[in-house]
Amino acid sequence: MHSRRTLLTSAAAAAAACATGAAAHAAGPAIGRQPHSPDAAPAPAVLARLRALISRMTPEEKVGQLFVMRVYGHSATAPDPADAAANQKEIGVANAAELIARYHVGGIIYFGWAHNTRDPHQIADLSNGIQKAAADQRVPIPLLLATDQEHGIVARVGAPATLFPGAMALGASGSRDDARTVARIAGEELYAMGIRQDYAPDADVNVNPANPVIGVRSFGADPQAVARMVAAEVKGYQGAGVAACAKHFPGHGDTDTDSHVGLPYIHHTAEEWERLDAPPFRAAIAAGIDSIMTAHIVVPAFDASEDPATLSRPILTGILRERLGYDGVVVTDSLGMEGVRVKYGDARVPVLALRAGVDQLLNPPDLALAHDAVLKALKDGELTWPDIDRKLLRILLLKERRGLFADPYTTHRAVDRAVGTRPHLATADRIADRTTTLLRNDGGLLPLSRRREREVLVVGVDAAAPSGTGGPPTTVLAKALTELGFTATALPTGLTPTQAQIDQAAAALRRRDAAVIATYNVTADSPQRKLVGALLATGKPVVQLAVRNPYDIAQLAGVEAGLASYSWTDVELRAAARVIAGQRNPRGTLPVPVMRADAPAVVLYPIGHGLTY
């Protein structure tokens, strides 16, 4: 057994389109597939047409185009009664069609919890219904339909769509080709469902192990490695006709606060930012990224006012627009997150964001309030119409580039030809086989032997993976190991096992040959440590698998065999099972350093560490 990498760093049209969506589309996303080049100016005829379109819009229509909004329901016109009631309560409309008619929104974001993503055919029908509603407006402008499909732990569209390893798992493989392939296939499947923007890839460099919101959503802690993977995914998504979105500018990787619930501070100096945070965003821009998402974080080195970056003109205009030379679409992170709401009220936030340099306002908590506030700021002169028109032109050019004016619709046939196909699923498994990382294997405990360790107890976390992407982990692992010739039994014990659960697990292991425990972000005071200790005390072989952040091993000194899968989704758990069973060699290597628990400044396992059989 040996370590296979050295330490890299320790820290670091719509109106003309067929209204029924039956336009020929089965051949896949042929329109708009060329990646956007930041140096390629749009054709004069295109600019003239889009500017003429803007000139026909009323003030209300122009302002509406700046918003990307949530809406509940599986259908654009006939959601379930509970979803219609939720829409009335939160937005004042019953469905997506009414949302478009009243507010003229430029985009809609799909969520699983909003019941937008039940299955691929339903998603395609919802997309077509939304585009039909847009085509019926006085000034017909197709909507940019978006979602967060990062893969790994963030996936809004579940099976039967293809689910891939997430960013940090891909970082463990180190393969730009795999990153490009994942994004290309994911883009093709999203396109087939009518989704033309993915809020991915994550361009944050996760240099803080305590980061509660990024973690495995990042490709790793090496800025240059992250930059290479980000550029590869940008080319993959946009080569498939889907706008990519690098997030979260200017970099959310070194924080211990979740911007969903608080306002994080990033205390990097300008020089540290240039070295640690900037490279992935520079790479995304060089690759022709269509959109960049802002972060609700404070960077005092760049803005002494301590406004969050989403509302900071020095950051969004001074750095992103002027220093980095980016002239694509800038979209806020969700305006419902606490990080952007703690300093200003919900009426001020959209105005300040537009003043800072934002083009699209994502998911405000009160759309009517935000819409009226922007109109009032224009009337009062705080915002200007020429600047709004420039923002609209960027948005419309993105829609043009992604083929929405030519044909915004899709078909069930397109879905069937692209989504969750056998070749795509097989590719996901092959890529996952290159990501599982073996961190410790004292005494050659792994791989387990079907003769010595036939009876395997699988314990640990039991939360289902997001949006139908699989789980619970103990069930998936037990099933996979059983299919590989073991007799495996699942005994879920959760994130905080009780003493009774710990005793039950230890007693169950005494009747078996070995245990596999799925751990999840183990801390010094986590009951998971006590569970691992009780299992080790039986004297039976214990294999630990970190199913989220790979840092767990530092808290589990007695474990002889430890692996990282970087997610608890099915595709990564099945790959880990193949490694545990010896069907595959572990090929992943750490994309982040693991520090000692008792000496956090000391590296336990460096970037590049990974054992093989």
Query: Do the bridges between strand 594-595 and strand 603-605 make them parallel or antiparallel, or are there none, so unpaired?
Result: antiparallel
Distance separating alpha carbons of residues 371 and 381, to the nearest angstrom: 16
The three-state secondary structure class of 421 is coil
Distance separating alpha carbons of residues 591 and 606, to the nearest angstrom: 9
Residues 153/569, Cβ–Cβ less than 8 Å: yes
Catalytic-role residue among 333, 407, 462, 552: 333
Residues 194/124, Cβ–Cβ less than 8 Å: yes
- 462 flagged as catalytic: no
Contacts for 18 with CB less than 8 Å, ≥ 6 apart: 407, 409
Distance separating alpha carbons of residues 359 and 395, to the nearest angstrom: 7
Distances (CA, A) of 241 to 119, 139, 165, 290: 21, 24, 21, 11
Residue found by looking up tokens 């795999």 in the block: 178
The one-character DSSP state at 42 is P
Q: What is the DSSP string of 438-494?
A: EEEEGGG-PSPPTTTT-EEEEEE--PPPGGGS---HHHHHHHHHHHTT-EEEEEE--
Distance separating alpha carbons of residues 128 and 193, to the nearest angstrom: 9
Strands (DSSP E) contained in 261-349 are 291-294, 329-331
Buried b (16+ CB within 10 A) or exposed e, 300-315: eebbeeebbbbbbbbb
Residues 594/610, Cβ–Cβ less than 8 Å: no
DSSP-H helix ranges across 167-294: 167-173, 176-192, 223-239, 270-276, 278-286
Query: Do the bridges between strand 154-155 and strand 361-362 make them parallel or antiparallel, or are there none, so unpaired?
Result: unpaired
Catalytic-role residue among 121, 258, 260, 429: 260
Q: How many CA atoms lie within 13 A of 151 on its CB side?
A: 30
- Which phi and psi angles does 585 have, rounded to 5°? -75, 140
- 260 flagged as catalytic: yes
Catalytic residues: 260, 333
